[in-house]
Structure 1
Amino acid sequence: ILSVSLRDCTWLLGRVHSKINQSSQFFSVTQPSHHAPPTLQGFHFVKRKTDHCAVSSARFTDTVLAIQLKMSTQSFLVREPSFPARVLQQYLSLLKKYPILTKSVTSGFLSALGNLLSQVLQHRKKSKEHNPKMKISILGPVHFAVYGFFITGPVSHYFYHLLEALFPASLPYWLIKRLLLERLVFAPAFLLLFYVVMNVLEGKTLTEVQSKLKTSFWPAMKMNWKVWTPFQFINISFIPVQFRVLFANVVALFWYAYLASVRK
């Protein structure tokens, strides 16, 4: 934009400059009427006009150069966006071009990071008791990354868009309907899917999966309702639909840290 404005300004100033030069040439050849020989007074008049135009032309040229220098300097003073701003801009661009893939990669990365964070916190809590050596399980973050990429990202994407289609904001009690559907239908089904997939990835048998569900599913579901309901209310009410998967993954990151702190 600055380069275009500078080019237009230079062209306009150049046109005015040429007009002044034409005026200077006109005064320099002007003679008295009736082809009378030029008098001394007329000569001084023409000379003064010519000198005045020459000085004006020189001053105008200096002004043009000063304006060009100032605008060129200002163009170099335009600050580039900071690194976080460029990263956010690039993420928004990818989210617009490849919404499902971007959300899947985000879910996989944050899920793996959450599991890694939970392992670190568990180790720190155990180290206060008998100072064991830190052992990080690589399979844990890998399993969570797989689950986040193939299930959390795509499923959450379509579910939040389904909420928008089933209960648009123009309907009465749309917020309550969305929240009840998410809390009473989607959350239990998603938690059940999580238990099954994660236990299969860990190589457990069907009998072991059923035993795990009997002992852990209901306590985990009640804890999910207590902790996640306020955040899902904020997510459905105030967060734009394209950012809801990201918001849920950020909350899940702290959720994993909480589970590690209470050893669950």
Structure 2
Amino acid sequence: MDRLIDRTINAMIVLAAGSYAITKLLTIDHDYWHGWTFYEILRYAPQHNWSAYGEALKTNPVLAKMMISGVVYSVGDWIAQCFEGKPLFEFDRARMFRSGLVGFTLHGSLSHYYYQFCEELFPFQDWWVVPAKVAFDQTAWAAVWNSIYYTALGFLRLESPANIFSELKATFWPMLTAGWKLWPFAHLITYGVIPVEQRLLWVDCVELIWVTILSTYSNEKSEARISETPAEAGSSSLLKGPPEE
């Protein structure tokens, strides 16, 4: 019964969020619909949504990027859970919320300032600037962000600082090198083609793949540690033997 209730709640969340997103995208021109055909609505929706996004970047760029990252990190974690074998509507809501919260509060805002900082750090137009930005991104920034992500998720799971540090220590190098299989190629476009204000949107599209990897890896480590704890406790009690009376 509890499983059915959980599945129903999850289905309602997905349906409500999906319906809201589609409605917002399709009704971008609702003030001008008089006399429009359905084809015209569909035809102009992408262009005008893009214009609205550009306007949001001018009026409140940090909030716009925070919202995009929050959505991407939530969806990315949902995809990760599906890849782990969970049915479509049996995902862990708390886990998805934690990932989305980290994306919203930290990734969007920090990335906004990071890309501006990166432009100031490499204010040149030479051929080597793009490779230099990619190298800096995949060493300094990747190390910082992966550490922030794992630490924030650990605190949201109410884990102890010792456990968080242990997980971070175990995953830091594998995740950094795993990123080198994906991000250098994506960032050739990020830094070579995409304007600075639009970069986070492109990066967040690629993030759907990366967050799936990050979230899966983080939760695998956490679950493995939780499962090992009772086993260690059991083995230690066997070694100690029965209590003396």
The verdict on a shared fold, with TM-score over 0.5 as the criterion, is yes
Q: Quick check: 1:228 aligned with 2:196?
A: no
Residue number in structure 1 paired with 2:70: 108
Aligned CA distance change for structure 1 residues 179 and 221 (closer, same or farther; 3 Å): same
- Which 5+ residue runs of structure 2 have no aligned equivalent? 1-34, 221-245
Matched, 1:146 2:146: no
8 A Cα contact 2:143 2:172, kept in partner: no
| One-letter identity of the residue aligned with 2:208 | L
Counterparts of 2:135 and 2:91, CA distance in 1: 38
Secondary structure of 2:182's counterpart equals helix
Deviations 1:145-185 (A, max 9, x none): 21111111111111111111121233562223222221221
Encode CA deviations 1:108-167: one digit per residue, 9 max, x unaligned: 11111111111122225xx7xxxxx96311112211121111111111111111111121
Identity in percent: 24
In structure 2, relative to structure 1, the CA distance for the partners of 1:92 and 1:173 (3 Å cut) is: same
State whether structure 2 residue 140 is matched by structure 1 residue 178. Answer: no
Number of aligned residue pairs: give it. 182
Instruction: Describe the shift of the 1:168–1:213 C-alpha distance in structure 2 as closer, same or farther (beyond 3 A).
Output: same
CA distance in 1, matches of 2:125, 2:98: 40
**TM-score, normalization: structure 2?**
0.66
Cα RMSD (Å): 2.7
- CA distance in 2 between counterparts of 1:77 and 1:150 reads 39
Q: Secondary structure at the match of 2:91?
A: coil
C-alpha displacement of 1:202: 0.9
Please state if 1:119 is matched with 2:74.
Answer: no
Distance across 2 between alignment mates of 1:238 and 1:148: 24
- The equivalent residue for 1:190 is 145
* Paired position in structure 1 for 2:45: 83
Larger radius of gyration: 1
Q: Extract unaligned runs of 5+ from structure 1.
A: 1-75, 128-132
Helix, strand or coil: the match of 1:82? Answer: helix
Cα distance in 2 between the residues matched to 1:137 and 1:77: 42
Aligned match for 1:163, one of 118, 123, 126: 118
- 2:11 matched to which residue of 1? none
Q: Is the 8 A contact 1:112 1:144 kept in 2?
A: yes
Write the deviation string for residues 73-98 of structure 1: whole angstroms up to 9, x where unpaired.
xxx79956532333222222212211
Deviation track 1:24-71 (CA, whole Å, cap 9, x = no partner) reads xxxxxxxxxxxxxxxxxxxxxxxxxxxxxxxxxxxxxxxxxxxxxxxx
d(CA) in 2 for partners of 1:244, 1:154: 13
TM-score (norm 1): 0.62
Report the CA distance shift for 1:139/1:260 in structure 2 as closer, same or farther (over 3 A).
closer
